[in-house]
Each structure stands twice: as structure tokens, then as C-alpha cells.
Amino acid sequence: MRFDTIEQLKKEPDAVRPFPPAAVKNLDEVYRIEWTYNSNAIEGNTLPLFETKLVLEEGLTIGGKKLREHFEVVNHSEAIDYVNRIRTTANRGNIMRTEDQIKRKLYELKQLSAKRANDPVVQAQIEMLEWVLNQPIEKYHV
């Protein structure tokens, strides 16, 4: 797909911006569940989408599933919250402080990773925070 086509397609949702707060909240919830499910499924988590939704929305544990899989779901959701907090509070005045917070969290995760050498959840969190650090923050927070 060409960029001019993408730009043309982007005009349709841009025409109705800003989206109503209820619609934004609904989209956030849907994407959080689907993103968490897909990310964890890639890492080998066996919770299906419906059970992932139950864990996130109701705080339930699913019989016959490992506790580790439940923690993966909850931790991924908390990681999304963390990145969203950074995204919504970052501005030119506190970008450096935000980067320092990410680096500290990354250091903590690497220390935890050293203790839990093959934990895919910790590794995924490290990869995500390293990715965030390598993004041009000004591009997303102007």
C-alpha cells in the first residue's frame, strides 16, 4: 500500500476526531485484551482470548491453567498501563525524567531476569522497555 493511499484512508477517522471519550475507553479496553492475548500467545501462553478477558476484567483464575499464565496476562496489562502513563504525561520538560524512569525499570527487570533466567515474561518486558527507549520520544509526545 502506498503512503498516499494510507494518508487518504486516514482522513476518514480524522474527520470525526476527537473521538467521544466513551468510544476511546471502549477501544482501549478491546485493544488491551487483544494485545495482551496475542502477545502472550506468541510467548506460549495457553489462555484463549475469552479467558484472558476474564482474567483482566473479572480478576478470575482459570481452573487447569498455570498461575504463571495468569501473571503473564496481568503483568502485560500493567506494562501497557506503565507505557500509557509515560505516553500521556511526557512532555519536553520531563522527557529526560521519563527516560530515567524507564532505565530504572529496565535495570530492575534485568536484575529480576538474572534470578529467573528463562522467564519469558521478564524477557518480554525488557524487550518492550528497550524498544520504548530507542523510539524518538519527541515524535510521539509533542
Please answer whether residues 57 and 49 qualify as being in contact, where contact means their C-beta atoms are separated by less than 8 angstroms: no
pLDDT at 142: 40
Higher pLDDT, 88 or 25: 25
Higher pLDDT, 19 or 52: 52
Which range, 16-20, 33-37, 84-88, 128-132, has the best average confidence (pLDDT)? 33-37
pLDDT at 124: 75
Instruction: Return d(Cα 53, Cα 112) in angstroms, integer.
Output: 27
pLDDT in tens, 116-129: 656 666 677 777 77
Please answer whether residues 37 and 80 qualify as being in contact, where contact means their C-beta atoms are separated by less than 8 angstroms: no
What is the model's pTM? 0.58
